[in-house]
Structure 1
Amino acid sequence: MAVWQYLLIVVPEDSIDDNYQCIFKNNKTKYLPKTDSFWKSFNGDIPSIIAELDQIIPNSKWDDDTFLSWKGNMKDDEDNDATIVLNDDKTSIKEFQFRIDLRKSSNITEVLQAILNLCKKHNFVLIDLKGEIFKPNLEDIFKSIKASNATNFLIDPIQFFEDLSKNNSDETRT
């Protein structure tokens, strides 16, 4: 993940109550928890979701039958990407996430907005790296975007790395 990318995890809205506390709030690791249990009861139109993503971000051609990926043009500051992981028989989603390149405003106004529209259509919600849940509305996630590492890096890269270095040295002392 590039430092200028803002990551959101996509899950079905109706699965949040049953799984959220257990998966995100109790996660004590530095890694994102697996989200496959959020998708257990999802019976939406997976081919439609894939076709819609194909219209938003180019397919990366790196994928296989169960690991699908999309990747924007990195040379044009469009380092947007998305990933959907399917189960072995390709009948259900195990994970779905995307990252938006914050270096260019059109990535937010066009790419992010298009993905949010897809999420609204399929009744998905979004979870950021801190475990906060958002409806797929740009206004709802702006606070998270503004507080993200990606935004902090873009505002002041030197300060971002100084803070990162300070935090790492503080962690090694404890």
Structure 2
Amino acid sequence: MAIWQHTIILVPSKNFDNNYIQFLRQKETGYLKETHFFWENFKLSKENIFEKIDLNISEFKSENDDYVFWKGNSENLQDNDCSINLSNDFINEIKIRFDLRDIKNIKKFVDLLLEIANENQLKFMNLKYQFFDARKDLLLEDIINSNGIKFLENPEKFLKSLS
């Protein structure tokens, strides 16, 4: 993941509290915790979501029966990507990363994420495992507080803070 990208994982709001308990019980690993718990007993068809992603990330697409990946053009400040895991044509994980280097790109992906989430009763999770409702103010706050924005605002200060 590039430092100038912001990652949002979408999960269903339905039965969130019950599924959150299962999520918390996972052991820590070297990578992100699994989010498939949230998708149990929730059926979201891929067609509507795929169409929206195709319109917004169109440089490269790779797919097989249980996984689809889109990649944007990083040279045009559109280092956007999306990965969706599937089970029998139903979604069981959505992760979207978008480029923070261009304000038009940020606006496009804020709108896209809000549209997908609100149409399908989903909420957001960031890489710090903070969950929040699909509201523009909360999403913008998450972006503003991200390491990606801190890096872009002052790379030297950000890198010094890591040591």
Q: Amino acid of the residue matched to residue 97 of structure 1?
A: K
Equivalent positions of 1:21-170 (< 5 A) are 21-24=21-24, 28-58=28-58, 60-87=60-87, 90-164=88-162, 166=163
Runs of at least 4 residues off by over 6 Å: none
Which protein has the larger Cα radius of gyration, Structure 1 or Structure 2? 1
Contact 1:24 1:131 in 2 (8 A): no
d(CA) in 2 for partners of 1:70, 1:40: 24
Kindly report the root-mean-square deviation, in angstroms, between the aligned alpha carbons of the 2 structures.
1.9
The answer to which structure has the higher helix fraction is 1
Q: Which stretch has the larger CA shift, 121-130 or 22-31?
A: 22-31
d(CA) in 1 for partners of 2:25, 2:105: 30
Q: Which stretch has the larger CA shift, 116-125 or 16-25?
A: 16-25
TM-score between both structures, scaled by the size of structure 1: 0.84
TM-score between both structures, scaled by the size of structure 2: 0.89
Q: Amino acid of the residue matched to residue 105 of structure 1?
A: I
Q: 1:102 to 1:115 in 2, by over 3 A?
A: same
Shift of 1:37: 1.4
Q: 1:116 to 1:151 in 2, by over 3 A?
A: same
Shift of 1:11: 0.7
Aligned partner of residue 14 in structure 1, secondary structure:
coil
Which residue of structure 1 lines up, in the alignment, with residue 9 of structure 2? 9
Unaligned 5+ segments in structure 1 are 167-174
Deviations 1:70-104 (A, max 9, x none): 122211101111110112xx333221110111110
Unaligned 5+ segments in structure 2 are none
Q: Which stretch has the larger CA shift, 100-109 or 24-33?
A: 24-33
Shift of 1:27: 5.4
Q: Could you tell me the percent identity over the aligned residues?
A: 31
Shift of 1:64: 2.1
Contact 1:78 1:107 in 2 (8 A): yes
d(CA) in 2 for partners of 1:103, 1:57: 16
Aligned partner of residue 136 in structure 1, secondary structure:
coil
Shift of 1:137: 2.1
Contact 1:25 1:131 in 2 (8 A): no
Contact 1:13 1:125 in 2 (8 A): yes
Q: Which stretch has the larger CA shift, 95-104 or 45-54?
A: 45-54
